[in-house]
Each structure stands twice: as structure tokens, then as C-alpha cells.
Structure 1
Amino acid sequence: HRCILGASLPEQISYVLAVRVKILDSKIFFIFPGQGSQYRGMGADLVEQFPCAREIFDQASEVVGYNMTELCFKDPKGQLDSTQFTQPALLTHQVACLESFKSESKGIVQPTVLAGHSVGEYSALVAGGALSFETALRLVKHRGELMGKLGKGTMLATTLDFESAIKLADKHYCGIGGCNLPQQTVIAGEHDDLEALMDDLTQFYPGKRGIRLKTEGAFHTYLMVGAAQEFRKILDGVEFRDLETDVLSNYTGTFHEVDSAAIRSRLFFQLFNPVRWVDCMEAAMDKEVEIIVEFGGGIGKEEGPENKRPNLESITRKSLKMNQREALYVPAINASSISSAAEKLT
């Protein structure tokens, strides 16, 4: 904390304590990114600095049946970008970041609201108390395997609004995979259908862009129904606990009910319905959140955890601006940012 220039020591101590009380009384929003934020080397810095992170990675290896540290740190077989491996790896890294932050902040920084984008919702449910890390990891392992095996098609990130996107998607037998911002809608479908859709996008929506995403399927659309049906069998065999903290649902864009049966069904529907992230953000802002902390993953071309940027930062800042809200944004995605976040918030 910065001390007040020219103030006496008692005044400086009073100032620091007042700032700390204000932060601890703030409404805090924890968020977790989705697929696309994985990278080779994630977590390698955490285990060097935080013993709890090493425990999380060791635990993950036992649950999934392969070496999670080797996959995340070195990816020797080039598997990290395959959905069946991406999803368990991201969950592991996000929970390792969360637990490391808890350790550094002595557990005194508690969220008011939680949310995760797509597979990140499982990390949010772990943080919210509905799932243990082991249970969430088993679920995500099956989820990733089914989505990779039964999924088909691909995804396209566009600068279209929702109404324009759905009109175009319906015409070409595609679906909406996600609504990240009012002018950022993801469309997904079969390869040939998306090609035809791209032609129409260029012709009828000049100035609008479409960028192909590297996915193994048209996630969060009707093309995932087969995977969802198989995944339901897995979900039905899992015990969910009642939530301790409010968690937002990708499927509804509103808060999960405390009831475990409702959480289970919404995770089923999430697989073949759009990620309503714009609605999740608005719901969090309606709670008047003042601090937003992002855990895990990272983006950027440069190698190494220290060179990565938070995946959801840009969307988060744009959401705040469009809703005329202000909040302190704090990344906690690698060892250095976790230490910095803990220092800043305590």
C-alpha cells in the first residue's frame, strides 16, 4: 500500500488499515476462462513457489490417469490443444491458481460472485462449494473426451450482434455458440455451412469480421447434443453439494439455484446451448461488484507463464465500459500476478 506523504506513522497505519477494510468489504467477482487459454508451460512457475499448487497437479495426475505436470509444463506429445486434454488441464491450472492465491492472501479475500466461461464454469463451481476438485476433474475429463470424440464442425468468432448472427446462422444450419459482448457473437456449425455463411457475412455485413477458432467441434450448439446425452449419464452419477457462494450459469445467464439437481441439469444444457457470457457479466454488475479477479490460463505468442496475458481481460473491460461501471481488475494467472494480487487485495 502507498503511504501518505508527510503523514505521521500512526496516520499512515490508520490509512493502510482503512484501505484494507474497504477492500475486504468490497463485492468481489472471481472469473475463470475457457478453452483457448491453455498454453505449454502453464503451472510450471506455480509449483516452484506454492506447495499447494504442486499438490493440485499431483492430485490431478492421480484422478485423470496420466501425468498432468508433464502435459501442462512440457506437452511432449502435442496433446494440450486436444479437447480431451485441454479441459482437464485448464481446470487443474485454474484451481491451482485459486488455491495459490488463497494461500498468499491467507484466505481472507472471499468472492461474492463466481463465474466461468464454458469449461471454466466447473472451476467456478469448485470455488463455490458445489463440487470438489476431484469430482469436477472427473466430470471435465469425461466432458472433454465426449466433446472431442462426438463433436463435429467448428466455430467462428464474429463482430455481429446477436440478432444478426442468429438470422445468418439459421439460414446456414448453424447455431450460436456464445454471446461474449453485444457485438461479439460466436457462430458454430459444419465446415461447409460455415464457409457459405462466411460468404454471406462478407456480402451482406460489410465491415463485420469473422475469425475461425481452433476447436474440435461446434461447441454449445445442437451439434453437441450427442455428446450431451452421453454426458448426462456421467452427471447423473455425481454428487453435487449445495452452493456456498453465488455462481452464474452459462446456460441461463443468471445465477444457479442452490439446489444440486438444478445445477446438474444446467450443466447438461450448457453443452448444446450458447454461453451467455454477456448476460453473466451484466448479472454480476447488477450485484455491484467492485473487484474482479481472473484465475488461470493465459494468452499471447511469447513462451512462458510470465509472458502471458489474461484471457478475459479485454471482454471484462469492455463490459464494464458499456455498462458504465467501474471495478478494479486483478489478474491471478501466474506466480508473479498471484503474489501481486494477494498483496494488492490484502
Structure 2
Amino acid sequence: MNFELTEERQMLQDTLRRFLRDRYDTATRNNILDSATGMSTDIWNELAELGVIGALFTEEQGGFGGKGFDIAVVFEELGRAGVVEPFLDTAVLAGGLVADLGNETQSALVEEIIGGACQMAFAHGEPTSRYDLNRVQSTAKAEGDNVVLNGHKAVVINAEAADHLVISARESGEPGEDAGISLFLVPADTKGITIQGYALLAGGRAAEVMLDDVTIPASMRLGKAGAAFAAIEARTAAASVAQCAETLGAMETATALTKDYLMTRKQFGRPIGTFQALAHRMSDLLIEMEQARSAVINAAGHLEGDRKTREVNVSATKNLMGRAGRLVAEDSIQMHGGIAMTQEYELAHIAKRIVMGDHRFGDTDHHLERFIALAAA
């Protein structure tokens, strides 16, 4: 099998890498992290003009990519540069669900998302759900031609900046059941929605979203009533591939910074990278990098497969990336010493992104258990 990028994907990678190298340095990111919004509107719009968001949607949805390898190419470069703007949440998750399930009116938003004019957030996780996608306790009650939403959504990334929220709520069944979950496309300023924001450790912002008798027309439902779980699972799989690719890009940066440091820092008149103990540790990191890259390629290549094949490969990749990422982050910091912990140095942010990436969409233990269960099913 040929794992080389197509000409179009290679051009996308080269363009994105060149742009981020010129426009997204450590000082720029630190200024963005210190801002009230936790993101740069200018960077967002410029990347949208480059077609980065369009690469995350299929041609039928108005983009020019949308496949597993398109997602992996984009997010590897975003991870390599440590980009904190919410491309995953706006495009892959919330925007992807609108593109997958929306009617003609709702799907018109996809064009605005691709153009950079619309911000989105996916309000799905809850305080007691942890990594279980079907543990939804928020409720949706029909009242005539309207639906009333009540509940508490936790760690909703990009909620403060979002123009629209894609909100999950249960119309029937019990928490833990796949059936009965619906999705609703709701303007963020709808009466009854309260958003309490905070900064995230690895960059960007999230919020607790409270739903207090949020009354909306039933026409805001995405797809059929109570039948949204399969779409949520599929979009979470795509987001997991994006997260793994982003972690891979961050790991590339961490190893490159470490290699440069080992060959620059001197003791006893020699670069410390020539000392056998450190050379062996660096070799271990490079081996982990090759395994990680193979795992991301495998997950991206199976993203369009049947449900079991897709989920088995996503869980296997998430488990490996969590273990390899932690090793790369910890060893990179240890081989640097104290400088690696300073905010002015690139590795400080990159290491946080690698470690925290393991906890989104399920950590290593969760996906090991899930892989075993899926393989045995």
C-alpha cells in the first residue's frame, strides 16, 4: 500500500506548514493565550482563506476533502505549530454533525463555517459522563411544535466564541442507552442558555453550559428524533483521529527541539547529545515516533470503514498515542532540564498539549478496555 500523500494533500501540507512557520511562533501563541478570547480571529480567518477548514469537509458538503487522511494532514501541522484555535470543535465535531445530519436550511451554515464566518461548539459531555458517549442525562421534552431543553453540559470547548451550539439531549430511554439521544442546532444567545467560561491548561477556552428551560422550535433538531448516537460516535471517531494527528505533530516538534538542544548544549567540551545515555534515550524517542506515525496512518485509513473496523482502529491508536506521547513529553523535558518548563520556550506548551491530548475522547486505559471489548464482540 502506498502511504505517500496525494499531490493535493502534499500541497495543503506544504502551504499550511509554511504559513504557520511564518505566522505562529511562541511569542504569538503566548499573546493569544493571554487574550480574553483564547484565540486569534486574524489567524482563524487567514487559515480559512487558505482552505484549511474546507479540507475538513467533503465535496458533497461544500469542501474539498473530509477523508481521514485530509483530517490527519491538517491536524498534524496544527499540532506541530501548537495552534490553539478551535478547528477541531468548530469543523470536525459541531460543523461535521451539521453537515452529516442537517436539513437544507441547517446545512447552509457549513458554507459559513468553511469561510471562517461562523464559530461552533459541540455541547455533549456532562459532569457524570466521563468518556461514555451514550451517558446523556440532559432532557428534551416536546411541547407542541417546540422542544424544551434542560441539563448541564461540561467542558464545552469554544462555547464562549460560538455562534451556534450543537446540543445533545435525551428524548427517550435511560442514561447509558444508545437509543433516544437527539441533537439540536441552537443559537448560542438563545434564552435559557448560561455559559460560564474558563481557560484550558493546554490552550484555548471551554465552558460549563447550563440549559434552563431552553425553548426552541422542533425544526432545530438535527436528523431524526432519538437517533443521533451513530452520528455522534462517527464524528467522535473523526475527532479522535484529528486529536491523534495533532499529538503526532506536537511529538515531532518536541523531538526536534530535544535533538537540537542535545547537539547545542555542551558539557566537558562536547555536545551532551554525544553522551551514550542521552543518545540511547533519543533513539527510543525516534522509535516511538515511527510507531506513532504508523498508528495515525492506520486510523486515518480505516476512518471510512464499517463501524467495528473504524472503532477498533481508533481505540488502538488512541491507546498507543497516549503511551507514546507521555514518553516523548516526559523524556523531552527531562533531557532539556529546567528550561523546558519556562513559558517562553516552545517545549513548555507543546508538552502540555501532548499530555492533555491523551485525556480527550478517552485516555489510554479507557481505549484499552474498549479495544478488548470491541475485538471480542
Same fold (TM over 0.5): no
Q: TM-score under structure 1 normalisation?
A: 0.29
User: Which structure carries more helix by proportion?
Assistant: 2
User: When the two structures are superposed, what TM-score results if normalisation uses the length of structure 2?
Assistant: 0.27
